[in-house]
Structure 1
Amino acid sequence: MQSILARLVEGKGCFQTKMCAHLKVIGLPDLQEFQGLYKQNWPKYCQEYYCLDNFIEFLRKQPHMKHLHMYTLDAKQARHEGLFVIVDRYQLFVGSLNNTNGLVRRALDLLDWSTGLKCSSIPYRHVDALDNIVESKKLNLVFRDGTDLFYMKAEDALQLRVEAPVGFVLKSLSVADAPLVNAEWANRHSGSLFFIERQIRMCVSAGLYREDTNELVAWCIRLQGGYLGALQVRDSYKRRGFGSVVTREISYRLAAQGHDVMALVGHSNKPSSGMFSKLGFQIIDQCLWLRTEPTKGDGTWPEGE
């Protein structure tokens, strides 16, 4: 009796919201089906749409990706709402058209949180469900940071293309650049070199190189959530507008493929916010980044995986 009452209070019971549903493994066809649902009310669900877009492309290029787990709930309503939970190594992505019926919370509750998860670019409409899980499971946090979602239509991003400054050349990053990109990345950690290598192989990127020495001086990569990331200018080349140059180039490259462009910027990062605003991006939403501590072991990720 007590467990039934608890379910009724928590999620209005199994009868109304199918809170008794369980996680169901999904694959590429499911992601493709779900992605179509997120085209409605554009660009409201652009975070979910482009997150799925990236993982769809990943699976097309590498059908059997190690440490990639994708789920929905085995409830008809969850499928109609495109509910997905993706755990990519240690990163968690979640999406659903509905944030009021308890299904997102149910899906998150069924995950294994013991190794610690980095909840990445979680749309703010799902934050209450995530916070509820953190509280109910008594998870300790490494950080909890809000970000602004900057957005630009593809047709506008096509106008951003810029010529490289004199003495420099713009081109895609190579895997050989990954150690430098990782070393300069503020979010580097055990296992992040493999992540950077994979993103360079799988996603659109832009790098600014010295023409005489081929030295990489500024870069930006599309991260797996679909947004621009790892934007960096080497210290000795800062304050020369190079961050804007690579941002314009990668935005143009994405737009040339028919994609709108997204970037997430921390609320306190005034320089980056100013740059994206100056380029013509607009804030249309917020997303949350949250990292939980492992409840067992040290939670480190092995290099090379």
Structure 2
Amino acid sequence: MEDQFKDDILRPIENDKVLELRDLYLIDWPKYCSAYYHIEMAHTWMTKYNANTKFYSVEGNFDDATLIFITREPGWNATIVYYYTLDETNARLYKGLSKTKRINWNEEICTLKHYRHQLSVAFDLAKELKLHFHYLDTTALWWLPKEKALEFEIKIPDNTFISPLSVEHAKKIHGVWPFKAHRPIEYIENMIKYNNGVGIFDQNDKTLMAWILLNDYGSLAILQTDENYKRRGYAKIVTKALCKKFAENNMDSLSFITLGNTPSETLFEGLGFKIVDYLCWVGMKPSKNKL
């Protein structure tokens, strides 16, 4: 399979080199914290859980930390392409994406999670390859240093308990998730199986009342409270619990919050999170029409 791409502009990156590239994103912390944790998480899923993810450099050059990784998720037909670079001109990044034969631009492509300086790459690709956007969303990247999370005091209300999530909870979580149309239930199941997730439960009947997960980007995600248990502070409790768990493992916490999601913005600001950047989420499909 790899022989047909032996002369391709995108060159496979050895597993140990991926982590070396990850460490280049420690610069100006926490500016690139999202890239750092995402690369680390994708590498973990690939090496430990055989995730269908491949990492590539452009022409074997690592000088500006440019890397592209391509993945497919169970239950989702789209090819997912992630990319990062420290080169704000995006020159090598654009060259790699536009010249490679590893990506079939005639099918649905999700080029998710762009830093602002990388968004122009998606627009340039769409123009050159006659693609159209079927969604474009903007989120704020909220960050909390581990030192603050270690200070959290977590008070568990009477008749409740906190516990890790299990795969049996995926059906409920996915069923009420506002973005369930974009991702299949397998996405939730994998996050629970491979990553951390925390829920708060009723002590008597073991009902899951609120939950939060760690997603495949290495960020807090899918924070939600069952409609029957809202306005009791449960979302704050599970968030603090998971952040503190990360901090105890020498990790900062981060999360992507859609602009205008006032309840989440208020909660995270109250916990000490700060906005460090804004990122865009893009989905593209082939089009016969010019943009």
TM over 0.5: yes
> Is 2:197 aligned against 1:221?
no
Check whether the contact 2:130–2:287 (CA below 8 A) recurs between aligned residues.
no
Q: Write the distance in 1 (CA, Å) between the matches of 2:92 and 2:232.
A: 48
Q: Write the distance in 1 (CA, Å) between the matches of 2:154 and 2:109.
A: 38
Identity score, percent: 24
Amino acid at match of 1:91: I
Check whether the contact 1:151–1:261 (CA below 8 A) recurs between aligned residues.
yes
Q: Residue 191 and residue 152 in structure 1: after superposition, are their counterparts in 2 closer, same or farther (change >3 A)?
A: closer
1:281 maps to what in 2? Answer: 273
| Residue 191 (structure 1) shift | 5.7
1:98 maps to what in 2? Answer: 87
| Residue 295 (structure 1) shift | 6.2
Query: C-alpha deviations, 1:75-128, integer Å up to 9, x for none?
Result: 42xx12221212231433211111215111123323323331233222112111
2:4 maps to what in 1? Answer: none
> Is 2:65 aligned against 1:82?
yes
TM-score scaled to structure 1, two decimals?
0.83
| Residue 46 (structure 1) shift | 0.7
Q: Write the distance in 2 (CA, Å) between the matches of 1:114 and 1:160.
A: 49
Check whether the contact 2:160–2:203 (CA below 8 A) recurs between aligned residues.
yes
Check whether the contact 1:151–1:260 (CA below 8 A) recurs between aligned residues.
yes
TM-score scaled to structure 2, two decimals?
0.87
Q: Write the distance in 2 (CA, Å) between the matches of 1:95 and 1:240.
A: 40
1:176 maps to which of 152, 168, 177: 168
Task: Show structure 1 runs of 5+ residues with no match.
Answer: 1-19, 297-305
1:5 maps to what in 2? Answer: none
Check whether the contact 2:139–2:258 (CA below 8 A) recurs between aligned residues.
yes
| Residue 294 (structure 1) shift | 5.5
| Residue 219 (structure 1) shift | 0.8
Check whether the contact 1:204–1:253 (CA below 8 A) recurs between aligned residues.
no
| Residue 143 (structure 1) shift | 1.3
Check whether the contact 1:175–1:201 (CA below 8 A) recurs between aligned residues.
yes
Task: Show structure 2 runs of 5+ residues with no match.
Answer: 1-6, 73-78
Query: C-alpha deviations, 1:112-157, integer Å up to 9, x for none?
Result: 2333123322211211112211222222222111111111111111
Q: Residue 132 and residue 151 in structure 1: after superposition, are their counterparts in 2 closer, same or farther (change >3 A)?
A: same
| Residue 200 (structure 1) shift | 0.8
SS, match of residue 290 in structure 1: strand
Q: Write the distance in 2 (CA, Å) between the matches of 1:190 and 1:130.
A: 20
2:56 maps to which of 71, 75, 78: 71
Q: Give aligned pairs, total.
A: 273
Q: Write the distance in 1 (CA, Å) between the matches of 2:183 and 2:117.
A: 30
SS, match of residue 206 in structure 1: strand
